[in-house]
């Protein structure tokens, strides 16, 4: 997994997938979001907002999915995914049953990441 942004407190990673999919991880393995210090929670929510807005503007997806489960990995992290009616799983979650062979022709993900880093900075 590639890290595209990091601070002392958190990092943003790429999740390899047919869709644009990023994950935000805290560096310290907090189990629940309520365990995270308030200032870091605010930073995470700000990043979620920026990533969502940038994905909407760049990809024009059908929907943005944001999830935080942590059942297998009890470490606070968030998934942010741009979803499309033509992706392999839509309208199911990416962890659900495959619906079709996805037929996506999306703009360059590397350019999106560059734009995102500028927006965060």
pLDDT at position 1 is 60
pLDDT at position 35 is 96
Once rounded to an integer, what is the mean pLDDT over residues 11-23?
A: 97
| Structural domains of the chain sorted by starting position, each given as residue range(s) with its CATH number in brackets | 3-120 (3.30.428.10)
Whole-angstrom Cα distance, residue 57 to residue 77?
23
Q: Of all residues in the chain, what percent carry a pLDDT higher than 90?
A: 93
Given a contact cutoff of 8 angstroms between Cβ atoms, the answer to whether 81 and 64 are in contact is: yes
Q: What is the pLDDT of residues 61-101, one digit of tens each?
A: 999 999 998 878 789 999 999 999 999 999 999 999 999 99
3 pLDDT more than 80: yes
């Amino acid at each position: 997994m590639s890290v595209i942004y990091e601070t002392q407190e958190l990092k943003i990673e790429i999740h390899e997938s047919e869709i644009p999919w990023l994950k935000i991880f805290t560096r310290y393995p907090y189990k629940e979001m309520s365990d995270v210090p308030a200032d870091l929670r605010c930073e995470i929510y700000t990043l979620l907002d920026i990533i969502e807005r940038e994905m909407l503007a760049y990809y024009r997806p059908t929907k943005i999915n944001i999830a935080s489960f942590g059942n297998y990995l009890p470490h606070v992290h968030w998934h942010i995914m741009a979803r499309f009616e033509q992706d392999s799983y839509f309208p199911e979650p990416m962890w659900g049953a495959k619906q079709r062979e996805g037929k996506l022709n999306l703009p360059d993900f590397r350019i999106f990441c560059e734009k995102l880093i500028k927006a965060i900075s």
